[in-house]
Structure 1
C-alpha cells in the first residue's frame, strides 16, 4: 500500500491535474564540476585536451518513477586556434516522461593577461520529449483524464555563457536554454513548460601543503524567481585521490569521491542523502561518472589544477 501511494504521489507531483504542467528543468548533477559544458558552453574552450565524459545518476532510489539521468559529452580544443568544441547527449527519464537533449557548444578564449583568461561560448540545443500518459497511475478512474501519448516532440533552443578563469580560480555565468518552451496537447488543455535557467558558478583552489589541495565551489541556479544553491568542498591528495562533501540548500547532503587511475582515466562517485520529507520514501541518490583525457598542451605546473576544475 505504501509503495502504491508513493507511486501515485510522485505521479501527481510530476504530472498532476492542473491547467499548466511543468516539465522538469535542466537535470541536476552533484558532480557538475567535471563536465560543466552541460550548463556553460564557454567551458569547452578552457580544456586543453580531448575529454570524453560519461555520467549516470539514479535519483531518489526506492521511489517508482523517480528521475534517472545519463549524460555523454566530448570536448576538444580545435587545432592551432583558441576555439573549443563540445558535444553533449543527455537522457532524462522521470516517470512517464522521457526527454533526450543533444547540444553542440562552440567557445573562444581571450587572454586577458598572463594569469587570467575569458572564454565566451554559444550552445545549440535540440530537445526530443516523449510522454506516455498511459503509464500513469490514475487515482480517480472516473475523473476526466483523456490525453493521448506523444513521442519525440521537437523543440530547438540556443544558449550562451561566459567563463572567467586562471589556473587556480574560475567564475562562470550561463543560460544554456534561453527560450521558454511550451508543449501542448491537441486541444491545448494542458501545457508542459520549460523555463530558461540561469547558472552562476565559481571556485578557488587553495594549496594546503603536504600534497593536499582544497577547492571550495558554489553553483547557483535561478529560474522563474526560484533559486537553488549548491556549495561544495573537495580535497585532492597527491593528484590522485579526491574526497569531498556538498550541500544543496534545503534539499540534500552529498559525499563525493574520485580516483585518478592514470594520466588518462578518472572515475568518481557521489551519494546524496535527501534532507526533505522525501527521505522517508527513498534510500538516496547515486551518481557515477568516468572521464578520459587524451593529448593536450598541459604543462607540469597546470595539469593538476586544471583537472581539479
Structure 2
C-alpha cells in the first residue's frame, strides 16, 4: 500500500504514519480499565473522562476524548440492603473486598488528519480473593471500532496515483468488532497484570479496505505500587509495557507524590517519545488533573507540547483519610 500523507507529512514520515494507531494516555494509571478489563471497577463505581490535545499548534493534530462509567456490584448491593455504602464504613476500607463483579462502559473518540476513530468498550471484571491481602482479577471486553477516512483531507504522495481515487473527496468507513481479555494480581498497595487487546486481529470487519494488514494482537503489561512515607505523604509508581508486531514495544513509567490524599505532583517518561509532568487535586468526590507532555527522542522533531486534562468522580461517596499511613490514589 502506498503511503497516505496529510498537511504535516514531514512529521508523519519521521514518526511513521502508523505510530498514532497506538493510543497514548499520559495519565494511564487513572484509566487502567482501558488497557486491561480485569481492572474494571478496581477503584469503585466511578465516572472518568480525559481530553488530550496532542502537538498543540498543528492543524489536524491528534485529539482524543474519552469517557467511561464503572459500576462495582459491592457498592450497589450494600447501598440497596442497608443504605450504608461499604466505602463509607471506615477510613480503612479495603478495596480488595470490592469489585467481586464489576461492569464498565467506555467510549473514546480520536481524530488525526483525515482519520477519525470511535471506540466503544463493554467490559466485565471479576475478583477471586486468594487471601486476606491478595486477589486475582480477570476480565473481558467486547469492543466496537468505527474508523472514518475523510477524502477531502487526503493528499497522495505520488502524482497520477490512481490506487486511492475512490477516496478523494469521499468518505471511507471501516467497522470492527473485537475482544480484549486480561488478568491482574492485586493487593491493597500493588497491582501486576497482563492483557491482550484486539484478540481477533481484525477478523470481524466490514467496509473499505484502507486498514487491511494493519491489525495486530496487542500485548499489555501493567504494574503499580504505592506506599505511605509519613502520616501525610505517600509515593506512587506506575508502569506500562505495550507491544505488537507492527509498532513493536513502548514502555512508560510514572511516579508521583501524594499529600493528604488530596494533592499530587509527579513526572513520567515514555521511552524515546516524551517526558511528562503531572499534577492534580481532589475536591470532595472529584479528582481533577493536568499533564504537560514534552516530546523527546524520535518525537523531538515535532517540538510541540501535548496537554491532557482529566476528571474523575465517585458515583458513591468515598472517605479519603487525610492522616494515617494509607494512600488511596494511583
Superposition TM-score, scaled by structure 2 size: 0.81
Q: In the alignment, which residue of structure 1 is the partner of 2:86? A: none
Counterpart Cα distance in 2 of 1:102 and 1:5: 27
Among 122, 127, 143, the alignment partner of 1:104 is: 122
Q: In the alignment, which residue of structure 1 is the partner of 2:226? A: 205
Aligned in 2, Cα 1:84/1:184: closer, same or farther, shift over 3 Å?
A: closer
Aligned in 2, Cα 1:222/1:302: closer, same or farther, shift over 3 Å?
A: farther
Aligned in 2, Cα 1:270/1:72: closer, same or farther, shift over 3 Å?
A: same
Shift of 1:281: 3.4
Q: In the alignment, which residue of structure 2 is the partner of 1:176? A: 197
Among 34, 39, 45, the alignment partner of 1:38 is: 34
Aligned in 2, Cα 1:239/1:189: closer, same or farther, shift over 3 Å?
A: closer
Shift of 1:298: 6.6
Count of residue pairs the alignment pairs up: 297
Shift of 1:58: 1.0
**1:10–1:65 Cα contact (<8 Å) kept:** no
Aligned in 2, Cα 1:83/1:266: closer, same or farther, shift over 3 Å?
A: same
Shift of 1:175: 1.4
Q: In the alignment, which residue of structure 1 is the partner of 2:96? A: none
**2:232–2:324 Cα contact (<8 Å) kept:** no
Q: In the alignment, which residue of structure 2 is the partner of 1:147? A: 166
Among 122, 127, 131, the alignment partner of 2:145 is: 127
Superposition TM-score, scaled by structure 1 size: 0.86
Shift of 1:110: 0.8
Secondary structure of the corresponding residue to residue 124 of structure 1: strand
Q: In the alignment, which residue of structure 2 is the partner of 1:240? A: 262
User: Quick check: 286-295 or 142-151, which moved more?
Assistant: 142-151
Secondary structure of the corresponding residue to residue 269 of structure 1: strand
* 1:274 paired to 2:295: yes
Write out per-residue CA displacement over residues 30-72 of structure 1, whole angstroms, 9 at most, x where no aligned residue.
Answer: 1011121111111114233x20011011112233332111100
Aligned in 2, Cα 1:298/1:265: closer, same or farther, shift over 3 Å?
A: closer
Secondary structure of the corresponding residue to residue 21 of structure 2: coil
| Deviation >4 Å, runs of 4+ | 10-16, 182-186, 296-304
Write out per-residue CA displacement over residues 186-237 of structure 1, whole angstroms, 9 at most, x where no aligned residue.
Answer: 6x68736222211101111122115111112211011117111001111101
Counterpart Cα distance in 2 of 1:244 and 1:274: 17
Q: In the alignment, which residue of structure 2 is the partner of 1:55? A: 50
**1:11–1:95 Cα contact (<8 Å) kept:** no
Q: Which consecutive residues of structure 2, in runs of 5 or more, have no partner in the other structure?
A: 78-98
Secondary structure of the corresponding residue to residue 114 of structure 1: coil
Write out per-residue CA displacement over residues 257-300 of structure 1, whole angstroms, 9 at most, x where no aligned residue.
Answer: 110112x1110010110003543434211100100012167786
Counterpart Cα distance in 1 of 2:213 and 2:144: 16
Counterpart Cα distance in 2 of 1:112 and 1:141: 63
Shift of 1:143: 3.5
Secondary structure of the corresponding residue to residue 109 of structure 2: strand
Q: Which consecutive residues of structure 1, in runs of 5 or more, have no partner in the other structure?
A: 17-21
Aligned in 2, Cα 1:97/1:7: closer, same or farther, shift over 3 Å?
A: same
